[in-house]
Structure 1
């Protein structure tokens, strides 16, 4: 009898601890205004140090500059030499089916040439499909927003791409920070 009571109490305590842990883990992600769900919130730093952990970023550096509420660091991209692109990419799993997403990225085109962009699409079989882009053309920090409906099949992922484009002659810099993806 004591063993059963002990097991019951242990099970209840474990359940309570799991609930508390889950609520603490979700505490850092603010609720979207429309009742959706935040899937990603990124500011390219960890513990005050620059970081692009989790991102595929072949040609990146960091700028000790960020938009308001963006911390201290931002991701700085330069164009790749054609046919390569200077980019940062992260892909995330989500529930299969059709959903509307909102991607907001703060960006700054340091040289104001309008060749950098932000895109949102679906990674399917190693290729990005259903991709939508918006170009970065502000020499000041400004939010760039995409609202896209994507249809995910099992095994596919949502893919965010930040790009400085490509070049054959000149180079430039595009900075990105405060990446936020929401399912609406």
Structure 2
């Protein structure tokens, strides 16, 4: 190669210098930085999703225990043995204080019927207390992934998202 001529072919000055190893050294660093950034973003999404999962699981535990206790103590929606009172007491004992920080606990009395596909379905009826339904809800800070998506949305979005959990319990018929 002499003066840009290789076996009778004329090479431009750009072709001579673009593919040299010295020019490619920075590409590896750039790819490594992008890969590290992507790995950190994935780790952030995993940790944040885990936080929301644990919040939901804790809320479901509170609703389950409150419904079981209200049904087990044969609570009714009216009278002295009140199912909402039993459910509230159970929730407070388990670290969920209704009517604080936006937390709510709604208790309904009713019955269980067999619906389509042989699934039991709760039917609200305040005159019967064969089954108790408890719905617990709690606002938690929105996930970071949703916050990033909301940053590109034109309409404002709330800083919190409300998680809710529903539990239904029925007391067993007396044996004697």
Normalised by the length of structure 2, the TM-score is 0.27
Task: Tell me which protein shows more helix as a share of its residues.
Answer: 2
Task: Tell me which protein shows more strand as a share of its residues.
Answer: 1
Normalised by the length of structure 1, the TM-score is 0.26
Higher relative contact order (CA 8 A, sep 6+): 1
Structure index of larger Rg: 2
